[in-house]
Amino acid sequence: MTSLPALAWMVFLGAAVLEVGGDATIRTGLRGGRLAAIVAGCALLAAYGLLVNRLPWDFSRLLGTYVAAFALVSVLFGRFVFQEAVPPTTWVGIAIICAGGAVVQLGAR
């Protein structure tokens, strides 16, 4: 088994911030009636897709592993950007998702 290289972690973190940020920007635009925010959110989502797909991995392995980073960043955005209360069961779910991402990444090829 090989560990996930540091570059891949940086790509996953950057892609997750772009994807969650894009979703959050679109959400803000829709709720505030601001077309510019919606367009900016769409640009962020496109940037996420371009970044995450730079890794030369099989698509299923790539996104199967990325989902764990995305899930964690999503909950952190909800907590710290939108000031949402995150129940303990959500943290348990995130731990399960991250364990699943590790299985996808480190499993047999």
With a cut of 50, list the residues of the chain below it in pLDDT. Answer: 1-2
- pLDDT (0 to 100) of residue 108: 67
- pLDDT (0 to 100) of residue 9: 84
Instruction: State the DSSP code for 89.
Output: H
- pLDDT (0 to 100) of residue 62: 86
Helix (H, G, I), strand (E, B) or coil at 5: coil
Long-range contacts of 45-48 (CB under 8 A, 24+ apart): 45/18, 45/19, 47/18, 47/22, 48/15, 48/16, 48/18, 48/19, 48/22
Do the Cβ atoms of 12 and 64 come closer than 8 Å? Answer: no
- pLDDT (0 to 100) of residue 5: 80
